[in-house]
Structure 1
Amino acid sequence: MSEPTSPPAPRLLLASQSPARLATLRSAGVTPEVRVSGLDEDAVLDAATARFGALDPADAVLVLAQAKAEEVAQVITREVRERDEASDAVGHEESAPIVVGCDSMLELAGEVYGKPKDADEATARWRAMRGRSGVLHTGHWLVDLRDPQDGGSGATLGATSSTTIHFADVTDAEIAAYVATGEPLAVAGAFTVDGLGGAFVESIEGDHHGVVGISLPLVRELLGEIDVAWTDLWA
């Protein structure tokens, strides 16, 4: 009698083009696949607002994270089905992944900010942020695409991490030099803590990883809800 086989190790797929999120996962021992969604974020938020009314920032990032994860999950599901149909002839199958999508926004003095559209907006943003505090909200959403025989739950679930950021009272010259690097144009809130902007953040209250773009403790908790141990993802 043959020995029962163990379910394959779970695969994580990151539905984000963020280098910081990918680097954060890799530094924590997780090497995800990456698939970027083609989501129209404005259209998603408009539809959610029409349905539910005005969204709090913590809810808005969760709506976007869910939309990104589920859009990529739909593509992966179709590809897995087509692959498995083709693999019948050769007897090869690969387990489907757990998809994680994320989105971040900065809340400052009642206003909500994503990525600045240009250098002028980034400059104005920093002049408003300096010497003040804001809250960085990051939504996380998981979609479990694994087959039940591989331990899959079919679950789709998420949560938001929120971290208070205390910004330094930077000078106009520092703002101009920082904006000129282009870094603030590529990130929500127009700042980083793990890059050139790190010196302009005096302190944070909450999860450092959530500010980078993906909260490792929160992802661990969400994985636990579908009976996946964080350590099972270690490469």
Structure 2
Amino acid sequence: MTSTDFVLGSASPARLRVLQQAGIDPRVLVADVDEDGLVAELAASPPADIVTRLAVAKADALVPRVGDGDDVVLVTCDSMLHIGGELVGKPHTPEVARQRWTRMSGQSAMLLTGHCVTRIRRGEPIARATDSAATEIRFATVDAAAVDAYVATGEPLAVAGAFTLDGLGGWFVDGIDGDPSSVIGISLPLTRRLLARVDVDVTTLWSAQAR
């Protein structure tokens, strides 16, 4: 019986942690994709389409690098926050992170995560399934001192929407409506459904320790 090689196409430690806690120990590859350029190119598209296209672009960049195994599953994701009609990603700088939190404080926004599951055999894609997950985030009202303290930690600079649910940012999220794993970066329910669409049973991917 051929075992399936599970590859996570992401540098996100949060996505890796979600999978590991759910019984999968993936191989990790990181795609080199001009995300900002692609977002600008797709600016007129619906937000859910944009995050899904980003996930697909990462998959396309990584397919040549996964190797020539008999059965490889590559999972790529991309998350962005949709707030006030604008789709925003990682702030990268303290100034942008402060601006984001001034805007998000006391408001609700939608965290969108695009997913792409590609099944590869001997270096060639044989099946692909894509979709996105949306979760409403209800942000607490946060004063300037708390925003400054959070930004000073550096955590919000490199995460979609300038916040985390499973880290320090969780103190400033009053609630969510939807899938928490999607907010962290990879939706377990959606990934399970996409795996099924490419004829992979998620239980066969669990590590020996999880079974």
1:187 and 2:159 correspond: yes
1:44 and 2:16 correspond: no
Q: Distance in 1 between matches of 2:10 and 2:27?
A: 10
Sequence identity of aligned pairs in percent?
A: 47
1:175 and 2:150 correspond: no
| Partner-residue secondary structure (3-state), 1:155 | strand
Matched residue type, 1:207: D
Shift of 1:65: 0.2
Q: How many residue pairs align between the two structures?
A: 207
The structure with the largest strand share of the pair is 2
Could you tell me which residue of structure 1 aligns to residue 24 of structure 2?
A: 30
Matched residue type, 2:39: L
Query: 1:45·1:63 contact (CA, 8 Å) conserved in 2?
Result: no
**C-alpha offsets along residues 33-74 of structure 1, whole Å, 9 cap, x if unaligned?**
00000111133334445xxxx111111000000000121012
Could you tell me which residue of structure 1 aligns to residue 58 of structure 2?
A: 68
Query: 2:63·2:125 contact (CA, 8 Å) conserved in 1?
Result: no
The structure with the largest helix share of the pair is 1
Of 73, 97, 101, which residue of structure 2 is paired with 1:98? Answer: 73
Aligned pairs (5 A) from 1:132-171: 132-146=107-121, 154-171=126-143
Max radius of gyration: which structure? 1
Q: Distance in 1 between matches of 2:42 and 2:138?
A: 30
TM-score normalised by length of structure 2: 0.93
Q: Distance in 1 between matches of 2:146 and 2:70?
A: 49
Could you tell me which residue of structure 2 aligns to residue 116 of structure 1?
A: 91
Of 220, 228, 233, which residue of structure 1 is paired with 2:192? Answer: 220
Shift of 1:206: 0.4
Query: 2:8·2:28 contact (CA, 8 Å) conserved in 1?
Result: yes
Matched residue type, 1:109: G
| Partner-residue secondary structure (3-state), 1:9 | coil
Shift of 1:153: 7.7
Residue 12 to residue 126, structure 1, CA distance change in 2 (3 Å): same
TM-score normalised by length of structure 1: 0.84
Matched residue type, 2:138: H
Could you tell me which residue of structure 1 aligns to residue 104 of structure 2?
A: 129
| Partner-residue secondary structure (3-state), 1:68 | helix
Q: Distance in 2 between matches of 1:185 and 1:75?
A: 29
Structure 1 alignment gaps of length 5 or more: 1-5, 81-93
Query: 2:91·2:97 contact (CA, 8 Å) conserved in 1?
Result: yes
